[in-house]
Each structure stands twice: as C-alpha cells, then as structure tokens.
C-alpha cells in the first residue's frame, strides 16, 4: 500500500495518483487492448477502492466565515417558534390556492401580525427559521421591514452568504448605520455616504435629537443637489417643532421651487410660525362673517410663502389662491374672526358670496385640519356619521374623511366609524375602517359584525364584502370570536332545505373562517407573551 | 475489512449450491424495499420475517432454489462486468443506461433485489459528469466484490456472510441478533421515497446513551400511509434494540412498547473530522459496501463555499466536505449556517466517502436539536 493511496484527503479529485490512475486508465481503454485479465483488474480496483475509502483523511479547511455580530435579544418562547415555522411553511400553500377561499384561516395574512407582535416584544428571530424568514421577505416586500428587523444582525450576516438574499443587504439600512450619539462617525457618513445611507442616517439622528438633525443638514445644505435638498427637507416632517423654524424660513428663499413649497408647507403646520401669521392675515382678509372675497392677485409675498401662482387646468385662479391661503392659515385664527364661535359653528355657517367659494373654503379647512392635526376642526368637518354621505358639510370624499379621521383620538375615531357603519352599512366603509387602530375597539367591532349579519340577512353574498372580511380577519378583536360563532350557526343552511341554500352556506363558511382566524390570532399573541421568569 | 479479508472474499471458489444459506426463508416476502443505505434487506416487519416457517423441509427447498437462481444471476452479472472492463469504460458514454436497465431486470428475475439496485446505479454513473470513469470503476469493482462474496459465501466468517446476504437482497435469516437494552437518543429521522413512488422508507438514527452504540431503525409505508414509527429528534427512549446480523451491526429493531420518551436535555458529545473518518474506515472492515457511518461531529464550523460547503474543525485545519447533489445548497445547509452564525456547532450526520450529510444540529450551548430540512 502506498502512502499516497492510503492517505487521500477528502474532496480531492482522483485520477492521476499512481496505481489507481493506472487502473482507471486501463479500465477506460479496456483490458482487451492490453491483454490483461478483466477479473484481475476488478479485483485490484476493489482492493484499491476500499483501501482509499478506509484511509480517507480530512480535507484542508477553507477560510471560515467571519462570525455574525451578537444579538442580545431573546428568542421567542417555544410555542411561538413553532407557530412562526407553521406560518412560514404555510406561506406558499396559502398563496397558491385560487378562487373561492375555504373555511381555513389565511396564514399569509397572519404572518405580518406575528412579526409585528414579536417586534413589539423585542424578540429576535429563531436562528433555524432565518432561511425561511428571508425567503418569505424576498417574496413579499410588505414583510421586509419587520422581517429584517426581527432577523437582526444574524439575518444580515446570513444574507451576505446567499445571493438570493441580497435584497436584505440593500434594504437593511439598520445594519450599517453608526450610533447617532457617535458624532464623528455620523459626520463622516453624512459627508461620505451614499444618498440612501445619508437619508437613513438623517432619519436616525432626527429620531434621537431633532435639533441635531437640522444642524447636520445645515452643515452641507448649500452644496446639496436640489432633489436631495427636497428629500432631506421632507424628512423633517418627523419631529417637526418651532425649533426648526429658522432653518425652514431660510429655505423659503431656496433656488428650487419645490424646496420652497415644501418649506412653506412645513412652516404652515407650525401655527406659531411667522409664515403661519402672514398666511392668517391674508386669509382673514378674504374670509369673515360678511362672506368670502378671494384674493384679487398673487403678490410677491404670497409667492415667497409658497403659494403656487398658476392653478391646475380647469380651476379659477382666485379660488386656487384662496384655498392655499386658508389651508396654510392656523385654524385658531377663525374663532376671533367669527365672534368667538367654535369650529362646529363656524363650519355650519352659511357662507354668503358665492357657492363655489364655500366649497373651496371647506376643502381648504379639511386640508388645514389634517396638516395641523387639529381634532376639534376634524370632528367639526366630519360632521355627523349618520348624515347622508352626499350632504356632509366638509366633503363627500371618503379619502378626505379617512384623512380627517386619522386626526381624531383613537376612541373617537372608532366610535365615529362604528356609527357610520351602523347608519350606512359596509359598502362605503372600507377606507374608513382602514383608518382605525388595530384591534378595533369594542363598539366598532360589534358594528362591523352586525353589519355583516345584516348583509347576510339581506341576501347578499360574502364575496361582495371580501375587502371588509379581509380587514376584519386582521383587525377585529379576537374577543369577537364568540359572537361570530353564534352567527355561523345562524348562517347554516339547515333551516333552508330547498336548493337555494347557497348564500347561507357561503356565509357560514366565511364566518367560520373569520372565527378560526380570530382564535388563531388570540392563540398566536398569547404564545408570544414572555415566559415568566423562573 | 482488512486487505487480507478483501482478498479472502475475492479469492473464494465457484458457487456451490450448499454454500447458500440453508435457512433462508421464502423469497418474495419483505424484500420489496429499495436497496438501503446500510442494509440490502428491506424487511421492516421483524416479527413477520422472523416467524418460524410452517414446514421447515419445504422452506429449505425453496431457499435452495432461490440460492441457485441467485448464483445464475451472479454468474451472468460477473460476465457483464468482465465484458465491461475488457471492452473499456470509454464506450459507456454512448452505450446508454438501457444495457444496465436490462441487466437490473435480470437480477430482479434472479430474486437478488440488492444486486438489481446496484446495477441500476452503475448504469446511471456515465451521465453524472466529470470523473465518471473512476466512479464507475469503483462501483463496478465493489459489485464484483459482492458477487465474489456471494459465490464464496461458505468460506466467509459469519458476520461478513450475513452482510453479503443482506447486500445481495436476501431477507433476514431469522438468526437472533444481539439484544441491547439502553436509553436511546433519537439523532435523526427522515423519509425517502422509492423512485417509482410506491414505497416510503423512514430512517431513524439512534445512539445508546449508555453503550454509545449507533443503531438504524427502518420502517416502511406504502403510498398514502406514512411509516408508523415516529420518534421525535432529541428524545430519549428506554428500549431494547435487537441488532440484525451483518451490515456492520447498524440495523436494529426496537422491541415495541417504548413510549414517546423524554427530552434529552443536552447536546451529544461530538468528535473531530479525523475521528469521524476513522470511524467510517473501521466500519468498512465489517461491511465493505457501506456508503457512510453515523457520526456526531463537533465542535465544527460550517463553511459555505461556491464550490461546495465544508464542516471545519473548530480547532485545527481539518474539514469534511458536505456531500452535495451537485446543485444549489439545500435549505438544510442554510439552516445550519444560520444556527452557527460562524460559531462552532455540533452536527449529526452520515459520514462517508462522498462527504458528510448533515441531518441534525445543536447550536452552541443549546440542548435543543434542530432537524435540518431537505
């Protein structure tokens, strides 16, 4: 036995090593040409093969990967880990089924909730599930922020090894950012980083110390490109305060029109700002107890304060200017102007001076209420949820109403939508429901369930309400499951033995799925609760 | 198996009818299973295979007839192998697999399912990319060795003779194997489906926590019915294992009534890459046709690579290549990398001449095993 044959390193190719190479060569050409014995060749090859297999030695190790950074967050409890594995495994199956959905819960819809809840608890993803989690995030970009946050540094490390998961490195701004407290590192990245890194950095600094973000931005402001200035300025929406006013006021003289307009918009959201004061004076001159008199022209001062001179096609100049002035004026200025009336009374006033102006005025107040986050005005403009939608005071647009709702406190918001659903049913409620906080408050949940039941009794089909059903699966409080179960029984077609039981069966199935989903959600959230310390 | 033993097998004389196992039970029972990793006999129902034949005389005659048919099949196969090397492997690239498919069918007729499966695999080698001639010579030579072993069965030591019978595809002889009572740790469990989709084979790898002895329990299920034996990885079951003769003492059957067991509570102790290969080499002495040996490896670091993955010793420069099908790394390998995060892990798997196939892993400092998928 030669040493070479007896100590082959694992993974090495074979072919040219002494005896074995000769044997393979002879077998390849055939013993017939060399006048050897086939049997002797096979005997020798058997001995050789076994000797080499029995004498295998370890291969030389390739360079090891750099270890992943530590992640101090705990893993979720065991039942929650199993649940995540199920949700991830169910992903493909749930998406593949087309057509009518059965009574089984849609796991794909539950995954985002699981990820969000686990994120709130401060868990990290179980290491063994990272590949499945990254695959899921690759397939569904809506999952990415939460999935990657959960995956953490270990997930980023893993993504660096597999080209399939490159998206995580692109999206994972959280990985490479310096600590916002580390002034030198922040300054260096701000001066040398790519746009996406700088935008991420500005956001992180803004979240920690709003004034520091403005100082950072001011340090390079003059040298930034116009489109970058616009994006950076826009990121100041978060944490906007009176402290930002000097910087924003200076930006009103920017070279770029878009930058100027954005600066003006931000300033108008600060009711104490000088710009808000100037807009108030202009707006008060146009609107009062005597009626509406839109501005006759657009002067240089208005232009500097962000008023766009040219209206879009189909709109009159004067109403266009009026809308912009009222939108940017602090809502608090109207009480004195209307002799101490509150928002609801002001909104209810008939506005003499032309019907078109009144409509423009209300729309502008709606935009102002949203921009200034003024709940009193938002409630006044929303009016009564029971009022017929066509004659609502502020606007009949559901999108506008959803925006106004977002300004109301959570409870008030849910109450308003509950009464809206009670009065008008579900057909127009989808957008408004989307503006409510999850899980839906008790009265809202009950209103939705009652409305679904009413739709069933009215002879509708569940798929006409599939949008609301889908929302309900995600947003209903799991405590509603018991009431739903009763409805499932009511929807059973047993009482209707004729051939027309179709709708009833579909409703029963839809309610069953809703109930099952709610129970699953309840179980899922309970599993995520941290294990009591021993 | 030592060189001497290999030569011993190789140099046995021609087939004699009385050289065949006298007590081989009736053919056709319990041998439908595919050629398994470590044992050709696929009888999963130990109780059935071990039942005493009703008529010993008739059973003996049947066994003799079967042995004679296998001898004829083996002689024919030897001729085909001799022709193969005489004419040269180079012709195989054009010859196609049909020639070997036909030979495999002949071995099925000869009631030697173990040989049939090997022949089929031999026929597939020329289509398997670079280096195929060497692999074909290896597999052809080992098949030749098995043929010679069968023809010289009477002269072989008892355990080796049992191994040869099992590799050829004869069912269990019914000889009582060693019974070992221990607390068995379930190291891995996975299913594979036969190429025709008609049979699911479930492999369960165990290790005695007291004896340290490895055991492989096979269970089978027809389509639509999963195999019954379900032991979760990481559990410890108290049970008696009956080891079958031959096949390097791996194949065992658990005596029923062991229950679901208890969690183990700690990761098993691992060995380095060198010791893992030594264990495989030592097992080849018992069963020269062994593809791999069960090993708990660790601490090792998984090293991903474009041209194949490795498991590298945490200390020192040794590494085992991860056995791959040549395609993209399967999901289980990414799981292994995720568990490791670049740090050492403990890995259970099958260590053989093709490399290491990881099946189960333990994260550093964590007693809970993770079964690697696919």
**What pLDDT score was predicted for residue B23?**
34
The per-residue pLDDT for B264 is 82
Using CB atoms and an 8 Å cut-off, which of residues 89-148 of chain A contact chain B? 127-128, 130-132
Residues facing residue B266 across a β-bridge: none
pLDDT value, residue B290: 95
- The label of the residue with tokens 């007590």 reads B23
Of the pLDDT bands very low, low, confident and very high (cuts 50, 70, 90), residue B174 is low
> B131 CB near a chain A CB, below 8 Å?
yes
Q: What distance in Å separates residue B60's CA from the closest CA in chain A? A: 33
Facing residue for B303 by CB, picked from A39, A62, A128: A62
Is residue B163 predicted with pLDDT exceeding 60?
A: yes
Query: d(Cα A70, Cα A93) in Å, to the nearest integer?
Result: 34
- Mark the ranges of chain A whose per-residue pLDDT is less than 50: 1-6, 13-16, 91-100, 173-174, 393-394, 495, 497-499
Q: How far apart are alpha carbons A156 and A172 in whole angstroms?
A: 7
H/E element, B221: strand B214-221
Q: Closest Cα of chain B to A388: distance in Å?
A: 57
Across the interface, whether the CB atoms of A61 and B312 are under 8 A apart is answered: yes
Q: Across the interface, do B85 and A31 touch by the CB < 8 Å criterion?
A: yes
Q: How confident is the model at residue B173 (pLDDT cuts 50, 70, 90)?
A: low
**The pLDDT value given to residue B159:** 87
Confidence of residue B26 (pLDDT cuts 50, 70, 90): very low
Per-residue model confidence (pLDDT) at position A107: 72
Would an 8 Å CB–CB cutoff place B178 in contact with chain A? no
Answer yes or no: are the C-beta atoms of A252 and A306 closer than 8 Å: yes
Whether residues B88 and A32 touch (CB distance < 8 A) is answered with yes
Whether B86 and A51 lie within 8 Å, measured CB to CB: no
How confident is residue B320, by pLDDT bands cut at 50, 70 and 90? very high
Contact A370, A380 (CB under 8 A): no
Q: What is the mean pLDDT of chain B?
A: 82
Q: What is the mean pLDDT of residues B179-201?
A: 89
- Tell me the CA end-to-end span of chain B in Å, nearest whole number: 32
* Residue extents of the structural domains in chain A: 409-492+502-529
State the pLDDT at residue A193.
Answer: 82
Q: Least CA distance to B283: which residue of chain A? A: A54
User: Hey, are the CB atoms on B10 and A23 less than 8 Å from each other?
Assistant: no
A240 touches chain B (CB under 8 A): no
Across the interface, do B85 and A53 touch by the CB < 8 Å criterion?
no
Site from A1, A12, A14, A50 to mutate, B interface, most B CB atoms within 10 angstroms: A50
Q: Taking CA A364 as the corner, what is the angle to CA A362 and CA A370, rounded to the nearest 5 degrees?
A: 105
Confidence label for B8 from pLDDT (cuts 50, 70 and 90): very low
| Both tokens assigned to B253 | 């059957």
State whether ipTM is beyond 0.90: no
pLDDT at A355: 60
Q: Which residues of A touch B318 (CB under 8 A)?
A: 57-61
Q: B279 vs A103, B224, B284, CA distance in Å?
A: 53, 37, 9
pLDDT exceeds 70 at position B41: no
What is the percent of chain B where pLDDT is above 70? 82
Least CB–CB distance from B355: residue in A11, A43, A48: A11
CA distances from A161 to A59, A132, A167, B330 (A): 22, 15, 12, 14
Q: What is the predicted pLDDT for the residue at A413?
A: 93
**Helices vs. strands in chain B: H and E counts, helices first:** 10, 12
Q: Where are the alpha helices (DSSP H) in A383-441?
A: 398-405, 410-424, 430-434
Q: How many residues does chain A have?
A: 534
Closest-approach residue (CA) in chain A for B335: A128
DSSP states along B243-285 = EPSSGGG-BEEEPS---S-EE--SPPP-B-HHHHHHHHHHHHH
Are A54 and B285 within 8 A, CB to CB? yes
| Residue B16 pLDDT level (bands cut at 50, 70, 90) | very low
Report if pTM > 0.90.
no
Show the 3-state SS of B9-74: HHCCCCCCHHHCCCCCCCCCCCCCCCCCCCCCCCCCCHHHHHCCCCCHHHHHHHHHHHHHHHHHHH
Write the CB contacts of A524 (distance below 8 Å, at least 6 apart in sequence): A80, A83, A110, A113, A114, A117
More confident: B10 or A469: A469
A127 chain-B contacts, CB cut-off 8 A: 338-339, 341, 363
Cβ contacts of B335 on chain A, cutoff 8 Å: 128, 130-131
Q: Classify A287 in phi/psi space as left (phi over 0), alpha (psi -120 to 50) or beta.
A: beta
**A61, B134: Cβ pair inside 8 Å?**
no
Enumerate the β-bridge partners of residue B216: B205, B251
CB contact A5 to B (< 8 Å): no
What is the model's pLDDT at position B42?
38
Q: Do A67 and B342 touch (CB under 8 A)?
A: yes
């Amino acid at each position: 036995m030669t040493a070479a044959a007896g100590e082959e390193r694992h993974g090495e190719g074979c072919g040219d090593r002494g005896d074995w190479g000769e044997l393979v060569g002879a077998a390849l050409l055939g013993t017939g040409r060399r006048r050897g014995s086939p049997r002797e060749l096979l005997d020798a090859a058997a001995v050789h093969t076994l000797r080499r297999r029995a004498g295998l030695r370890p291969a030389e190790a390739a360079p090891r990967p750099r270890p992943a950074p530590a992640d101090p967050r705990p893993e979720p409890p065991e039942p929650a880990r199993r649940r995540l594995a199920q949700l991830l495994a169910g992903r493909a199956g749930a998406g593949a089924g087309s057509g009518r959905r059965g009574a089984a819960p849609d796991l794909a819809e539950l995954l985002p909730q699981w990820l969000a809840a686990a994120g709130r608890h401060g868990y990290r993803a179980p290491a063994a599930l990272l590949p499945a989690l990254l695959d899921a995030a690759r397939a569904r970009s809506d999952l990415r922020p939460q999935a990657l946050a959960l995956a953490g540094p270990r997930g980023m490390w893993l993504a660096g090894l597999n080209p399939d998961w490159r998206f995580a490195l692109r999206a994972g701004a959280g990985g490479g950012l310096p600590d916002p407290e580390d002034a030198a590192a922040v300054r260096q990245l701000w001066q040398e980083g790519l746009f996406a890194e700088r935008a991420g950095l500005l956001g992180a600094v803004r979240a920690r110390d709003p004034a520091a973000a403005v100082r950072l931005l001011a340090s390079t402001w003059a040298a930034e490109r116009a489109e970058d200035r616009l994006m950076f300025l826009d990121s100041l929406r978060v944490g906007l305060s009176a402290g930002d006013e000097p910087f924003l006021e200076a930006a009103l003289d920017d070279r770029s029109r878009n930058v100027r307009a954005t600066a003006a918009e931000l300033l108008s959201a600060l009711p104490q700002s000088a710009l808000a004061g100037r807009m108030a004076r202009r707006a008060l001159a146009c609107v009062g107890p005597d009626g509406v008199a839109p501005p006759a022209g657009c002067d240089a001062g208005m232009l500097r304060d962000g008023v766009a001179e040219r209206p879009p096609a189909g709109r009159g100049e004067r109403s266009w200017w009026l809308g912009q002035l009222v939108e940017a004026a602090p809502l608090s200025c109207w009480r004195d102007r209307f002799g101490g009336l509150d928002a609801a009374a002001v909104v209810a006033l008939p506005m003499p001076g032309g019907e078109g102006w009144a409509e423009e005025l209300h729309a502008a107040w709606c935009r102002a209420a949203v921009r200034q986050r003024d709940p009193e005005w938002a409630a006044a403009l929303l009016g009564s949820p029971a009022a017929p939608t066509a004659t609502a005071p502020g606007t009949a647009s559901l999108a506008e109403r959803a925006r106004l709702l977002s300004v109301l406190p959570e409870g008030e918001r849910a109450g308003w939508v509950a009464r809206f659903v009670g009065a008008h049913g579900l057909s127009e409620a989808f957008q408004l429901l989307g503006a409510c906080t999850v899980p839906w408050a008790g009265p809202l949940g009950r209103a939705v369930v009652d409305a679904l039941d009413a739709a069933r009794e009215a002879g509708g089909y569940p798929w006409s309400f599939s949008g609301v059903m889908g929302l309900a699966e995600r947003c209903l409080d799991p405590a509603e499951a018991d009431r739903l179960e009763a409805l499932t029984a009511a929807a059973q077609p047993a009482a209707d033995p004729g051939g027309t039981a179709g709708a009833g069966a579909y409703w029963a199935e839809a309610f069953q799925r809703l109930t099952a989903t709610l129970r699953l959600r309840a179980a899922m959230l309970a599993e995520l609760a941290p294990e009591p310390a021993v | 198996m030592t060189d001497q033993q290999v030569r011993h097998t190789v140099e046995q004389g021609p087939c004699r009818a009385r050289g065949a196992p006298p007590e081989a039970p009736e053919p056709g029972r319990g041998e439908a299973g595919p050629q398994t990793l470590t044992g050709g006999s696929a009888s999963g129902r130990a109780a059935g295979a071990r039942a005493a034949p009703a008529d010993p005389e008739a059973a003996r005659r049947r066994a003799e007839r079967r042995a004679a048919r296998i001898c004829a099949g083996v002689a024919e196969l030897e001729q085909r192998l001799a022709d193969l090397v005489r004419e040269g492997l180079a012709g195989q690239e054009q010859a196609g697999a049909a020639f070997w498919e036909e030979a495999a069918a002949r071995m099925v007729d000869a009631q030697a399912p173990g040989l049939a499966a090997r022949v089929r695999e031999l026929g597939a080698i020329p289509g398997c990319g670079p280096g195929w001639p060497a692999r074909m010579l290896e597999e052809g030579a080992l098949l030749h060795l098995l043929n010679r072993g069968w023809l010289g069965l009477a002269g072989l030591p008892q355990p080796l003779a049992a191994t040869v019978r099992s590799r050829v595809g004869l069912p269990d002889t019914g000889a009582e194997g060693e019974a070992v009572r221990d607390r068995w740790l379930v190291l891995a469990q996975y299913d594979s489906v036969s190429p025709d989709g008609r049979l699911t084979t479930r492999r369960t790898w165990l290790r005695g926590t007291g004896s340290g002895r490895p055991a492989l329990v096979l269970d089978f299920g027809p389509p639509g019915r999963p195999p019954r034996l379900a032991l979760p990885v990481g559990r410890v079951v108290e049970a008696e294992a009956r080891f079958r003769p031959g096949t390097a003492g791996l194949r065992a059957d658990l005596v029923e009534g062991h229950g679901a067991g208890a969690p183990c509570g700690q990761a098993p102790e691992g060995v380095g890459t060198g010791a893992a290969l030594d264990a495989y080499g030592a097992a080849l002495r018992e069963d020269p046709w062994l593809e791999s040996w069960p090993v708990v490896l660790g601490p090792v670091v998984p090293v991903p690579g474009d041209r194949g993955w490795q498991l590298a010793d945490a200390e020192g420069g040794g590494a085992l290549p991860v056995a791959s099908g040549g395609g993209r790394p399967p999901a289980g390998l990414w799981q292994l990398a995720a568990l490791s995060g670049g740090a050492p892990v403990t890995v259970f798997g099958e260590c053989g001449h093709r490399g290491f196939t990881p099946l189960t892993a333990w994260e550093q400092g964590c007693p809970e095993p993770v079964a690697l998928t696919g």
